[in-house]
Amino acid sequence: MIAITGGAGYIGGHLTDTLIDEGYDVMIIDDLSSGTYVHPKAELKRFDLRGGNDLKLDGVDVIYHLAANPDVRTSMMDSIEHFDRDVKATFNLLEIARKNDVKTVIFASSSTVYGESRIPTPEWAPIKPISNYGLFKVMGEDMLRFYSNNYGIRGISVRYANVTGGRVSHGVVKDFIEKLRRDPSKLEILGNGKQRKSYIYIEDAVDSLIFLESYYKGKYDEFNVGNEDWITVNEIAQIIEEEMKLKPAHVYKDELEGRGWKGDVRFMLLDCMKITSLGWRPRLTSSDAVRLATRDLIHGYRKREN
C-alpha cells in the first residue's frame, strides 16, 4: 500500500487520483485542515502530524510526504505555525515511517531552498533560503537524509519549481484570476512584474513523483523538478488576460525591490539534468502550464456557478 500525507490537498489529491487510476491501494493521512478532497476509493486516516507519531500503518511500503504549509508568503507571517506544520510534522512522519518499517519516503521539497542562486540552478548549488518556507524545506530534507543514513529508509527529496494547475489553492495564476473576476478593469501586480520563474503543470509534477519512486534506486538524493524555460509575471498576466478576453490596466505594487512579498525569490530556473538523465521530462512548458492552469481554474469557477 502507498500512503500520502496531505492526500486531501493540492498535489496530494492529484497524486491520489493518478495512483488509484493505476490500480494502487492508497491511504490518505490528513487532518483536512487545508484541503478536503478525498478520493472515494482511498482509505482516510484523519491524523494531525503535529500532534504525535503513534500512527499504525499496516502494509505501507511507500510514503509520499506532501503535508505542509503550501504558501511561501504566509510562512513569513506566522513562523511558529508553519514550523509546526513543516518541521515538527516531518519529524513525526519520519518517526512513523521508522516505527512501521516503511521502505521509502518521498518528500515534496522546493526550489526555495536555494534562495537567489545562479541560473540555472543545479542540485549542488549553495543552500541559502530567504523565506521560512525555504528554510523549513531544508530542515525537512536534512531530517530525511538523517533517517535514510541511520535507519535505512530510502529517501527522495523533490525540489519543485512552481506547481500550477486545476484545484490550486494559491499562487500568482489563481491570484490574478480572482482579482480580474472582482474588477476586470485593472490588475494589481505585486513587485515590478519582471520576476521570472519556471512553472510545472500539476500532472507533470505528479508524474515526476511516481517516476522517481520507480527509477531512482539509490539510498538518498535530491532532484530538481521543473522546466527548462521560464516566464515573467507580466507574461503570466498577458496569458490570463488573453484567456479571460480582458485588457485591464496594470497597477504595480513594488515595495520590495522587485519582489512580490518578503521572502519572494525574484528569479528561479532549475537545472534538471539529474532527473532527465534518468529518462524523465515534463510534457508542458512553463507557458503552456500557466495557460492550461488558467483554463482549469476558469472552468472550475464556471462549474461552481452553474
State CA 255 to chain mean position distance: 26
CA distance 97 to 112: 26
Say if CB 142 and CB 148 are below 8 A apart.
Answer: no
Out of 133, 147, 199, 201, pick the active-site residue.
133
Core vs surface per residue 182-195: b (16+ CB within 10 A) or e: eeeeebebbbbbeb
Grid coordinates standing for 10? Answer: 493540492
Say if CB 154 and CB 105 are below 8 A apart.
Answer: yes
Closest CA to 266 of 251, 275, 277, 256: 256
Q: SS3 breakdown of the chain: % helix, strand, coil, rounded to 5?
A: 40, 20, 40
CA distance 237 to 247: 10
Cα torsion through 84, 90, 93, 97, rounded to 10: -160
Q: Residue 216 catalytic? A: no
Closest CA to 71 of 160, 6, 133, 4: 133
Cα torsion through 287, 254, 10, 162, rounded to 10: 40
- How many residues would you count in the chain? 306
Question: For the packed helices 286-305 and 233-244, what is the interaxial angle rounded to 10 degrees?
Answer: 40
Residue corresponding to grid cell 484570476: 177
* Helix, coil or strand: residue 227: coil
CA distance 275 to 154: 17
Please identify every residue annotated as catalytic.
133
